[in-house]
Amino acid sequence: ETGAREPGPAMPVAVNPPATLACPIISELERWITGSVQPAAMRWFGSPVAEIKQISAYSCRGMNGNPRARISEHAFGNALDIAAFTLADGRTITVKNGWHGLPEEQGFLRDVQGAACEQFSTVLAPGSNVYHYDHIHVDLMRHSSDSRICNPHATSGDEVAARAGHKFAGRRGEPSATGSLAKRALPRPIKRQRSAEDDDRFPDRALPLAHPGEDGED
């Protein structure tokens, strides 16, 4: 079980509400937070992350809360849904608002999502499907041929923030300015097919372009 802890080498940030998770994903989360989330926070905001808000950890249920669906990785304590990051200076970056928010928020969230795609076997974020509009889902589910699911595909935070900066500058009539991160190789996008379940459950609603298909999680 993870909960509020003082910053330290084992768990640099608090995870709240307290989350019950299996040991393997706790280890991967600690590596991701220490090696990717904290450096990204310092580069984009000049302040480390003090707390991560989670909205689903261990939960005995089917995928996307559907009792007739395949059992979710959450049922094994093998998944975590992350909704927000709170910095040591008090600022909070939510996935829901920050994914298309200020340039630095977009850059930070895309960089931590891209890093997660290199570390976890499944990463689903806003744009993957209708269920993940407000959080980043990570899990260690075993996929066929040891493949990984990264949806939407990982994009450099610099690239996303630069586009957002130009858009904001155009609205204000000012030069654009964004944060800066060193460029790194990103995972290749994995194309997923639209599932029949999505069509059945949302017949009158246009779904986002990216879909995780049967391997998707929530």
Q: Is residue 4 part of a domain?
A: no
16 within 8 A of 51, measured Cβ to Cβ: yes
Q: Is residue 8 part of a domain?
A: no
DSSP characters for 104-128?
A: HHHHHHHHHHHHHHHHSSEEE-TTS
pLDDT at 12: 63
Q: Is residue 6 part of a domain?
A: no
Name which of 26, 119, 16 is nearest 76 in CA terms.
Answer: 26
Indicate the number of domains in the chain. Answer: 1
pLDDT at 184: 46
Q: Is residue 1 part of a domain?
A: no
Task: Give the pLDDT mean for 55-79.
Answer: 74
Q: Is residue 39 part of a domain?
A: yes
- Which residue do the tokens 């290749």 mark? 188
Task: Classify burial at 205, counting beta carbons within 10 Å of its beta carbon; exposed 0-12, middle 13-18, buried 19 or more.
Answer: exposed
pLDDT at 74: 83
Range 15-43 burial, b when 16+ CB lie within 10 A, else e: beeebebeeebbebbbebbeebbbbbbeb
What pTM does this model have? 0.71
User: Diameter of the chain by CA atoms?
Assistant: 52
CB atoms within 10 A of CB 164: 21
pLDDT at 34: 95
Which residue range(s) make up the domain with 91? 14-215
209 pLDDT more than 80:
no
Q: Is residue 54 part of a domain?
A: yes
201 pLDDT more than 60:
no
pLDDT at 168: 75
Task: Report residue 13's pLDDT band, with 50, 70 and 90 as the boundaries.
Answer: confident
pLDDT at 118: 95
pLDDT at 175: 53
Report in angstroms the alpha-carbon separations of 124 from 150, 151, 164, 165, 195. Answer: 6, 5, 21, 25, 15
157 pLDDT more than 60:
yes
